[in-house]
Structures are given as C-alpha cells and as structure tokens.
Amino acid sequence: MRHRVCIAVWALGLVVVTALMLYFRLHEPASRNGGPEPTVTSLVFLLLALFAFMCEAVDSSMGMGYGTTLTPVLLAAGFVPHSVIPAALFSQLVGGVFAGLLHHNYGNVDLRHNTPHSRVMYLLAACGIVGAVLATRLVLHLPPFYVKLYVGVLVLSLGIFVWISPRLSNRLSYRRIIGLGLLAAFNKGMSAGGYGPVVTGGQVLSGVDSKAAVGITAAAEAVTCVAALVTLYQSGGAINWNLALPLCLGAFASVPVAVTVVKHLPHHWIQRAISLGCVVLGTLTLLNLLG
C-alpha cells in the first residue's frame, strides 16, 4: 500500500509538470514576447510556489526535471531570462542542499566522507565547476538550436538505454562518471537544463545504485548551481527575489515528500522512473525546439 501511495505522488508530479510545459508550449501568448514581466501578485506567488513544489518533487525523486522544466515554462509565461535563470539556480541550490541532506539521513545515499557515494559526488561537483566555466566561454560561439538539439537527443537516448539495459554495468566506472559530469555541467551552462537527466541516468549506467544516484545528483547539482551563480554575479547578474522567493519556498517544501517516495519505492521502480523521466524530458526538449 505504501508503494502505491509513493507511486501515485510521483506520477501526479510528473503529470502536472508535463501538462504545464505542454500547455505553455501550445498557448504561449504572443503579446508577452519582449513585453513587461508578469506582476508577482499574491495569486501568482502561490502558483509559482505550487509549480516549484511539483518540479522539485519530481526532481528530488528522480534526480532530474527542475531546471529543464521550470525555466522554459517561466520564460513562456512572460518572465525574462535574466530574472528566471538566477532565480531558478538559487531555488535549485536551496532544494538540492536540503534534498542531499535528507536523502543521506533517510539512508537513500551515504554521503559520509570517503564512501563510494561521496567520492562520486565529489567527482561530479568538481566536474560541475569545470563544465560551467567551459560552457560560459563557449556559449557565445555555438548556435543555440544545435546545443538544444544535442541535449534533447542525448537525454532521450539515455532514457532508452536505462530502460532496456537495467544491468548494463555492475561495476562502478569513475571514467564514465567524470565524462558524464563534465557533459552535464556543460549542458547546464549552455542551456540552463539537461544536468539531472545526464548525471542520474549516466550514474545508473555506470553501476551506481538508482536511489543513491538521485541523492548524489541533488548534492552535486547544488555545487554546480553555486558555480553558475558566482559566474552570473561576476557578469553583473542579480537575483529577482520577487521570483526567487516563491520558487525557494515551493522547492524546499517538496523535498521531504520526494525523499520519502525514494525511500519506500523499490529500486527497480526508481530505475524505471529515471528512464521514463529522461524519455519525457528529452522528447519535450525536442518538441519545443522543432515544433
């Protein structure tokens, strides 16, 4: 019975996030292109917090989906990139730190110093910093269309491989972890998304337990968010607190629910969820790009 409740909570979050993303893709108001940002009224504040709650619930239970979903939907709703990206990164930092701590406390992952899980997390965090720096140097030289195309294809492919090869590797491969960590951080710096699906799905394919992969991704992505925020600050960026505050509250509130879901679901369900999440997010990325 507990498994069914956990599955229902996760499925509801995924359906809500997917439906909202598809709705804004099909009904984006043309008048908001280049127009003033929406005013954050009490109702908008509540809706933003609820949306962040759903995005972070999916992200903290599957290791993916927050920035990849939140950013394009907020942009489609009329918010401008220089407000959305810092606010999304800061709220993901808050949610990621809290999620990493709770996943550790609930026994989903062991992040004590010098454990296999912590070593993977350190590697991914270091790769996140390097990848973010490389991405900021290259972002002006690559066409955004091809960057998003490759992210969509990569994430979709990872989902398919995780689904059809649940035991592709029983041996932890640090070489794969390093390569995927650099690639994922590069994705985040280039497109403000695509980190979680690559890192979480890649860890599973590299031999990391699926529940641990979710907790490791949450902690490592928080470090990547710090690097990205520092880079933005040095470039003159600032956090729009009217937008960041409801996102932080929603993301923070959802973490205990998501961590409980991961704790009580069987490993094979988490692995299937990771695979499905990659397929959904990769497909939506390609639809938004090509549609």
Supply 8's token pair.
């229902």
DSSP state of 30: G
Supply 169's token pair.
């590797």
**Cβ-proximal residues to 247 (8 Å cutoff; 6+ apart), any chain:** 48, 49, 52, 70, 87, 88, 90, 91
Residue 208 to residues 14, 57, 166, 200, 201, Cα–Cα distance (Å) = 23, 22, 11, 9, 10
Residue type, 57: A
In which region does residue 78 sit, left (phi positive, over 0), alpha (psi from -120 to 50) or beta (all else)?
A: left
Q: How many other CB atoms are found less than 10 A from the CB of residue 34? A: 8
Sign of CA dihedral 154, 159, 165, 166: positive
Round to whole Å and give the CA distance between 288 and 26: 10
Supply 109's token pair.
């992952």
Please report, in tens digits, the pLDDT of each residue of the chain (291 residues total).
Answer: 455 655 666 566 666 666 655 655 565 444 344 556 667 778 778 888 888 888 888 777 777 777 777 776 776 666 777 788 788 889 989 988 998 899 898 888 898 888 988 888 988 888 878 776 676 556 556 666 776 676 677 777 767 766 765 554 456 677 778 887 887 777 766 655 667 777 887 787 777 888 888 889 888 888 888 887 887 777 777 888 999 999 999 999 988 888 887 777 776 676 677 677 777 777 776 776 676
Q: Please give the pLDDT value at position 3.
A: 54
Q: Please give the pLDDT value at position 248.
A: 95
pTM of the model: 0.75
Residue 186 to residues 138, 183, 228, Cα–Cα distance (Å) = 9, 5, 11
CA angle 276, 281, 287 (to 5 degrees): 125
